[in-house]
Amino acid sequence: MPTPPGLPVALVTGAGRGIGAGVALALSREGYAVALTARSREQLDETAAACPGPTLVLPADLTSPGAVDELVDHVEEQWAAPEVVVANAGAGVSASVERTTDEQWQQMLDLNLTAPFRLLRRTIPAMKAAGHGRIVVVASVAAKLGEPYISAYTASKHGVLGLVRSAAMELARTGVTVNAVCPGYVDTPMTEATVRGIVAKTGRTPEEARAALEAKQPINRLITVEEVVEAILTCVRNGGMTGQGLNVDGGGLQS
């Protein structure tokens, strides 16, 4: 449907649950018309139902060739070019380096690095033409720090932080900012999957596995979705901040 007059447009990937759903709801409350994408229509419909403002539900697999271009084309045709883009879609895989398969490696690069690159490439021209834009990539503290058994994930997140930094410098005089938010372990379904993986591989109880992840943050708890969303909103609101990787990890990685 047409965008109500005066409403800016935001696009959020991975908007079906967790951080993506949280930021979509927050942007809707801030007065944005929000385009939502993820693989699951059912989850997107739930997010859309919670948003007080207008939404577009656009299921897509962003790793498919051409999917990002088709997604943004649809938003522009139905509404207008997004002036806020939050690249949140992502996934993790756990394996030692010698046990990481080519398929696992490629999966991490495709979703965590190539998809955000394609999203930036497609949305930057309209932002430059408008003289205003905000791009926020949800990375991870793994974009700055190596941990064992997540080499493919870590490599993809290091790569996407490099993309953010280079794009920010290219766009510094255009009115377009590009930042990353780098959470620690967040209380989301993705972390629950990590807990299940620890249980399966180590024989620990779910409670023990969760406690181990909590202990990685000096505050000794998981980060909340709301804490990550607030950091994303800071990147959206603050035009003087660009090229940054904003840590939200309870003090684990100080910078």
Q: Which residues are catalytic?
A: 153
Place of tokens 């051409």: 66
Closest CA to 177 of 243, 97, 118, 103: 243
Between strands 133-138 and 33-37, the pairing is: unpaired
Chain center to CA of 11: 11
Residue 141 DSSP symbol: G
